[in-house]
Amino acid sequence: MILDRLANWERYVKMHPGFKAAFDFLRRPESGNLPAGKHPIDGERLYVMIVRETARGRQRAKLESHRKYIDIQFTVAGAEEIGWKPTPECSAIESPYEAEKDLALFGDIPESWFGVKPLSFAMFFPEDAHAPLAGQGELHKAVMKVAVNW
**Positions of the chain with pLDDT lower than 50, given as ranges:** none
Per-residue confidence (pLDDT) for residue 33, from 0 to 100: 86
C-alpha–C-alpha distance, residues 72 and 55, integer Å: 18
pTM score of the predicted model: 0.94
Helix (H, G, I), strand (E, B) or coil at 46: strand
**Residue 8 CB contacts under 8 Å (≥ 6 apart), including other chains:** none
In terms of residue numbers, what domain contains 16?
Answer: 2-147
Q: Structurally, how many domains does the chain consist of?
A: 1
pLDDT on residue 30: 83
Per-residue pLDDT at 29: 83
Tell me the β-bridge partners of 118: none
